[in-house]
Chain A
Amino acid sequence: GENVEQHPSTLSVQEGDSAVIKCTYSDSASNYFPWYKQELGKGPQLIIDIRSNVGEKKDQRIAVTLNKTAKHFSLHITETQPEDSAVYFCAASNMKTSYDKVIFGPGTSLSVIP
């Protein structure tokens, strides 16, 4: 089955710097890659997702890149702000049917230091 690894497990950056979180997946059939942000005391919330027919997607300060050959995808946050501090989860799944599972990575705790 699918396995998703995520690095680093913790990340501290200065406010205004960029943050990059990397994930790898094992199932070459996976074609849907969402990213979720979990703030303290709340449930995860989708921040961006990418499908395998594109290599990059951007939404304001957040971007995700996908390398299908290498089976890895990354989240890039530019101009970080204190409110970006949270736990971030990557995930992967095969969209062939709605029964296919989304497998989550173990999470990255991001701290943005003012």
Chain B
Amino acid sequence: EAQVTQNPRYLITVTGKKLTVTCSQNMNHEYMSWYRQDPGLGLRQIYYSMNVEVTDKGDVPEGYKVSRKEKRNFPLILESPSPNQTSLYFCASSLLGQNSPLHFGNGTRLTVT
């Protein structure tokens, strides 16, 4: 089954404790991206990647890192999480970039206390 898999689904952590949210897709998509969803703000892009070893900032990249060492994986790293990073995070992939249909994972709800 074609899918985007994120882990974990839920994560509660404390300020400053490094964490990684994993994302994997099995559709051989070139493009992958991370979004955060906050009430009333819709989906805002954090980082995206057009291909292996090619990443770029989205609209809200501060406090986040990503890497794209393999085509299928695109982990999101929070080196020193803060409470304002409490949010619902989505990974997405697409065949041709942002202007072709995006396939989303089921989300990771992160709480930073």
- Of the four ranges (under 10, 10 to 19, 20 to 34, 35 or more), the interface on chain B belongs to 20 to 34
Residue of B whose beta carbon sits closest to that of A101: B98
Q: Which residues of B contact A (CB under 8 A)?
A: 4, 31, 40-45, 50, 56, 58-59, 90, 92, 96-102, 104-107
Which of A9, A43, A49, A105 has the largest count of B CB atoms less than 10 A from its CB?
A43
Q: A89-103 CB contact bits vs B (8 Å, 1 = yes)?
A: 100011101111110
Complex Cα distance A104/B59, Å? 12
- Of the four ranges (under 10, 10 to 19, 20 to 34, 35 or more), the interface on chain A belongs to 20 to 34
Q: For residue B99, which residues in chain A have a CB less than 8 angstroms away from its CB?
A: 32, 93-95, 98, 100, 102
Q: Is the contact region of chain A dominated by helix, strand, or loop, or is it mixed?
A: loop
Complex Cα distance A95/B101, Å? 12
Q: Is A113 located at the chain interface by the 8 A CB criterion?
A: no
Q: Assess the B42–A98 pair: CB atoms within 8 A.
A: no
Q: For residue B40, which residues in chain A have a CB less than 8 angstroms away from its CB?
A: 9, 106
Q: Which residues of A contact B (CB under 8 A)?
A: 4, 6, 9, 32, 34, 36, 41-46, 49, 89, 93-95, 97-102, 104-107
Q: How far is the CB of A102 from chain B (nearest CB, A)?
A: 5
Q: Assess the A101–B58 pair: CB atoms within 8 A.
A: yes
Complex Cα distance A8/B28, Å? 37
